[in-house]
Structure 1
């Protein structure tokens, strides 16, 4: 049996919460988690409790930003060839922009 551990506030975290999402929703959640630098658990809990998600720049966050921007570039090139912009892409661009602005404000 695994060792029981307390969270930072001294609480036992022994309840499991699960829900289903579409593949598109999953990718949006995963992108937001990568860009936040938090664990998925911490990110979801903060969002559900309407607490601010503060992104602290670190190598993992910078790599996630680079990878997300590369995906956006590929999508923009596809759009240029076909025409039309998806709502998911606009949401991702907005999230990246907010993250970059927050990191800029820190310096």
Structure 2
């Protein structure tokens, strides 16, 4: 029957801060958002297995962060600042969430480089 789904939908409201932090963690995990939520809810933690696809996503995100920082540096050095304080705040939050997600993921994988 059209309009009906086999499985129920779970929904909830979150703050913008929570949404951005979750989105960063989902992106860092390399999983689909649905899979991230299911694993997080069932197991109370998400184990990310390092694979090329996951690492490439993180490298791309870090490149974006790096390029954004270079553009800001150029603006500050030339005294031609074209970013508003609100845009700067949003950029700061985006960087913060992505870096926290990367640190979270690396913390879960630290067994790979820690000696026993």
**Corresponding position: 1:105 with 2:88:** no
Q: Residue 70 of structure 1: CA displacement? A: 0.9
User: What's the secondary structure of 1:57's corresponding residue?
Assistant: coil
Separation in 2, partners of 1:79, 1:36: 28
**Corresponding position: 1:61 with 2:46:** no
C-alpha RMSD over aligned residues: 3.5
Correspondence for 2:26: 33
TM-score when scaled to structure 1?
0.61
Q: How many residues align?
A: 96
| Structure possessing the higher relative contact order (Cα contacts under 8 Å, 6 or more residues apart) | 2
Please say which structure displays the higher CA radius of gyration.
2
Provide structure 2 residue ranges, at least 5 long, that are not aligned to the other structure.
82-87
**Corresponding position: 1:96 with 2:93:** no
Q: Residue 94 of structure 1: CA displacement? A: 1.9
TM-score when scaled to structure 2?
0.58
CA contact (8 A) 1:37 1:56 kept: no
Q: Residue 73 of structure 1: CA displacement? A: 0.6
Separation in 2, partners of 1:70, 1:25: 24
User: What's the secondary structure of 1:56's corresponding residue?
Assistant: coil
Q: Residue 49 of structure 1: CA displacement? A: 5.3
